[in-house]
Structure 1
Amino acid sequence: MADRLSAVLAKIVQKRKLFLFVVSVVYIATAVLVYFVINDKNYDVTPRAVRHLGILLRSAIQKDLNKLRHDPDNASVVSPSVDRVGTKRDEGYSCEVKTEHEDLLCDVTPPKFLPDFKNPCWRESGHPLQCLPYFQLIGVDKSGTTDLFYRLVRHPHVLSNRGYIGKETFWWAWKRYGLDLRQTVPHRNFQYYVNFFSEASANIGEVSDESGFHNLITGDGSPIDFWDFRGWKDIPQNAGLRDPRVLTPHLINHVNPNTKFILLLRNPIDRLYSDYFFLPIKRICSPESFHEAVSRSFGILSSCLHSNTLRHCLFDKDLHQHFNENARLNIGFYIVYLLEWLKVFPRRQFLILRFEDYINDIPKYVNRVYRFLGLAPVSLQQTAVLGIFSPIHENVTKKKVKARPMMNRTREILKDIYQPFNVELSNILKNEDFLWS
């Protein structure tokens, strides 16, 4: 009996060793492939490779899409109370993992907002009035967010913040994790974020209407918040997980559940070309170099998908840096990121517009945003005085202005990559304009 048991155990050990060996070989092979793709300047994309990547991408997203289709109106498709990540069932998350940095879900008590303020504001003993943004313009990069935010804060009831160009705080995606575009920075806590709105808070507290209601609002216009989730491993509730359960939407929901979100989405192909010239990385930019960068990013993503989920590949910190150095192909999978937000917030809290529509009729869409935010209409005379509809105000990329058009072969590759995702996006939004066909 003992001999038979020993033989069974020996077989189990051998199988386990074989399994670990196979996993190690796959991991090393993938790492080597990614390395050579990144460093091969002549790497190019074949039609067969495009078709193969398309199959991988479509299969990767179906699971998340199926979660949403049962509730098209999405009154909160997967609510935070259901999507549990720990044992603290009354609140839906665990506080068992301790780190040296602030745990937003466990260390920060959600503020109790004052009822006589339109903007989410609160008072604490020994502190002046403090506020969080009423709205967040969360995306997406190179899609007119600077222009739109400029016009929003020209409204007499909307205030800017103390962030970059009065718009971007970089806190939710970067500073709270000690991240920047390509380097590490000090970790910043929640109070650091609140301080971005200190001047706006003072103005909000001083202004009220005849009834005493404070109707001024402020906002955060950081487009990276929509898609840059690479800090997820530093969220304690994700400890030990291969793919995240808690992301930026969960954290925002914890402190400010009624936030209104605005999204400007651009044809992902044109967005990528503009972004390539915009990113502050020293390189010679041309249609040819862009094609090479797209090819390498394509190879990096393809290699990752052989042994990982799409979420893992798009949210991975190391791959994020490789995309930065080549072409940020990852940003254009809009539906993947939108699903993460719709798992937490109701669809009614989002206004999603196309950049192409906005730029062709700015007054129409600015007024639409005003209505979404519940702002008072502005007369034609006021718009002229306030400069709301002045010439386009955006971060124009000088290198892009001088560049030749994208190569047709590059555009065709990108069309094959993005189109299945545009289809799913248009289905979720029930608007065929988001096909960009």
Structure 2
Amino acid sequence: MDKIARDNIPDELYRVAPEVFDHMPTKFLDGFRSPCWKVKSKLTCLPSFMLTGVGKCGTTDVWDKIVAHPDIVVSDKEPRWWTRLRVGRDRGLDKSYPLSWYANQYNNLGKAISEARDSNKAKKLIAGDGSPSIFWDNIEWKTTLTAACQNLTTPRYVLADVIRTVLPKTKILAVFRNPITRLYSDYNYANRSCTPAFFHDSVTEATRIFSSCLASSTRKECVYKYFTEIYKNSLHHKLPKERPGMNMNPIKRLFKGYYSLFVPDWLKAFPRDQVMFIRMEDWHSECTTMLPNIYQFLDLEPLSKQNTDEICNKTLKNSTPGMNAKGPMLDTTKQLLDKFYAPDRKDLAQILNDDRFLWND
């Protein structure tokens, strides 16, 4: 049995996810790539990798091509358990979903391992969780604090710490995209009738509101301040009036492009060789080179060049339809956002020691 050391967990960390710490096994079966255990006679398993990032960074296409590997048992891409269902926060939810529900999403993995005729093959089988929000969504952080910690402006522990504690061998992939084009794509995806002019008005007001916070607080403090306020729509009245059928409040989409604020949490929690960062722009042009590297990162057997080419030539998944029909982003909007995101791009490039994340290309 692989025993997970979980003694002396700080109370603050425990309070981030008590339902995880109370019910996650402390031992997993030896010999399997996947974290598995027995529930009575049933083999129960969880994912061994997580494909994260931010919406409209291409995670669906990366996922679609990664899971084409024969040693990956396909599951639903986004169970959203860690960030939403676990705490009962999603559309139409009136209850939280337990760890057993999450494990049931990977029944196919346990079944495939149990039924595999080749024991060596069974030991290699893995599955993943492709919920992008795992990377950034710590919205509940304030609600988990004790009274003595209510004066904190940023959390000491986040979801990365929880996952590292209970599933320490997990591999993390994060997909990023130029935050300017990501925001436009995201906003168009949610607001199908959005025009470039209306997008500009929304961004202008959202950046003004956010910048007013920056006058007295750090970027990280402002993001975590708005984690609680934005999702309660407390800023809704300050933004341009909602048009019929439009998903408003662009400020909640704006801060998701502050990648450098979340990356350190994962690099602090996990060893560097368990975290991989991908640029969507590179993925679209270099899939046949990058996909074998991803498989190697996940400790999967390499595929033939022919198989890799066939996978990479599959149709692009989940691109935003009709975005070009609305017209390109206004130059004035690009300039505004370029200035807004410049500090974060600089920080990200320094953290990762990689100037590609300046997005000067």
8 Å Cα contact 2:267-2:275 kept in structure 1: no
SS of corresponding position for 1:263: strand
Which residue in 1 is equivalent to 2:242? none
The answer to whether the 8 Å contact 2:52/2:173 transfers is yes
CA-CA distance at 1:305 after TM superposition: 3.5
Alignment of 1:24-423 (within 5 A): 90-94=7-11, 103-104=18-19, 106-124=21-39, 126-161=40-75, 166-180=76-90, 185-207=94-116, 209=118, 211=120, 214-235=123-144, 240-241=149-150, 242=152, 243-279=154-190, 281=191, 284-306=193-215, 308-315=217-224, 316-320=227-231, 321=233, 322=235, 325-327=248-250, 328-383=253-308, 387-423=310-346
Could you tell me how far apart the structure 1 residues matched to 2:205 and 2:86 are?
30
**TM-score of the pair, normalised by structure 1:** 0.71
Aligned to 2:347: 424
Q: Compute the displacement of 1:294 (Å).
A: 0.8
Aligned length: 338
Cα distance between partner residues in 1 of 2:303 and 2:147: 46
**2:175 alignment partner, SS class:** strand
Q: Which residue of 1 aligns with 2:244?
A: none
Question: Structure 1 residues 194 and 360 mapped into 2: Cα distance closer, same or farther (>3 Å)?
Answer: same
Counterpart of 1:140, as a letter, is V
Please tell me the root mean square deviation across aligned C-alpha atoms, in Å.
Answer: 2.8
Q: CA deviation at 1:238?
A: 8.6
The answer on whether the counterparts of 2:37 and 2:44 sit within 8 Å (CA) in structure 1 is: yes
Identify the residue that residue 54 of structure 1 maps to in structure 2.
Answer: none
Per-residue deviation, residues 197-224 of structure 1 (Å, max 9, x unmatched): 1122211232264657611110000011
Deviations 1:391-420 (A, max 9, x none): 333112224132211111111111111111
Any unmatched runs of 5+ in structure 2? Answer: 237-246
Classify 1:308/1:104 alpha carbon distance in 2 versus 1 (closer, same or farther; 3 Å). farther
User: 4+ residue stretches of structure 1 with deviation over 6 A?
Assistant: 95-98
Tell me the CA shift for residue 329 of structure 1: 0.7
Mark the CA change 1:95 to 1:338 in structure 2 (over 3 Å): closer, same or farther: closer
**2:177–2:280 contact (8 Å) kept in structure 1:** yes
CA separation in 1, counterparts of 2:18 and 2:264? 24
The answer as to whether partners of 1:132 and 1:256 remain within 8 angstroms in 2 is: no
SS at match of 2:80: coil
SS for the counterpart of 1:262 is strand
Give yes or no for contact 1:129–1:205 (8 Å, CA) kept in 2: yes
- For residues 96 and 155 of structure 1, the distance between their equivalents in structure 2, rounded to whole angstroms, comes to 35
- Following superposition, the deviation at residue 239 of structure 1 comes to 7.5
User: Are the equivalent residues in 2 in contact too, given 1:110–1:254 (CA < 8 A)?
Assistant: no
* Change over 3 Å in CA distance of 1:184–1:113 after alignment to 2: same
- SS state at 1:370 partner: helix
Alpha-carbon distance in 2 for matches of 1:395, 1:240:
41
Q: Deviations over 1:155-186 (max 9, x none)?
A: 1001122xxxx2011111111122126x6542
Which amino acid is the alignment partner of residue 77 of structure 2? K
Q: 1:257 to 1:174 in 2, by over 3 A?
A: same
Q: 1:336 to 1:212 in 2, by over 3 A?
A: closer
Distance 1:188 1:147 in 2: 27
The equivalent residue for 2:241 is: none
Q: Distance in 2 between matches of 1:218 and 1:274?
A: 29
Alpha carbons 1:260, 1:373 under 8 Å: kept: yes
Q: Deviations over 1:354-382 (max 9, x none)?
A: 11111012111111111111111112444
Classify 1:312/1:194 alpha carbon distance in 2 versus 1 (closer, same or farther; 3 Å). farther
> Equivalents in 2 of 1:220, 1:371: separation in Å?
18
Question: In terms of Rg, which structure is larger?
Answer: 1
The aligned residue for residue 41 of structure 1 is: none
CA distance in 2, matches of 1:91, 1:424: 34
CA contact (8 A) 2:288 2:308 kept: no
Supply the distance in 2 between the matched residues of 1:198 and 1:239 (Cα, whole angstroms).
41
Q: How far apart are the structure 2 equivalents of 1:250 and 1:169?
A: 20
Residue 244 of structure 1: SS of its match in structure 2? coil
Alpha-carbon distance between aligned partners in 1 of 2:82 and 2:27, rounded to the nearest angstrom: 21
Q: Which residue type is aligned with residue 170 of structure 1?
A: R
User: Equivalent pairs: percent with the same residue?
Assistant: 36
Distance of aligned partners of 1:287 and 1:325 in 2 relative to their CA distance in 1, 3 Å threshold: same
Q: Which residue of 2 aligns with 1:62?
A: none
1:105 CA drift (Å): 5.5
What SS does the aligned partner of 2:276 have?
strand
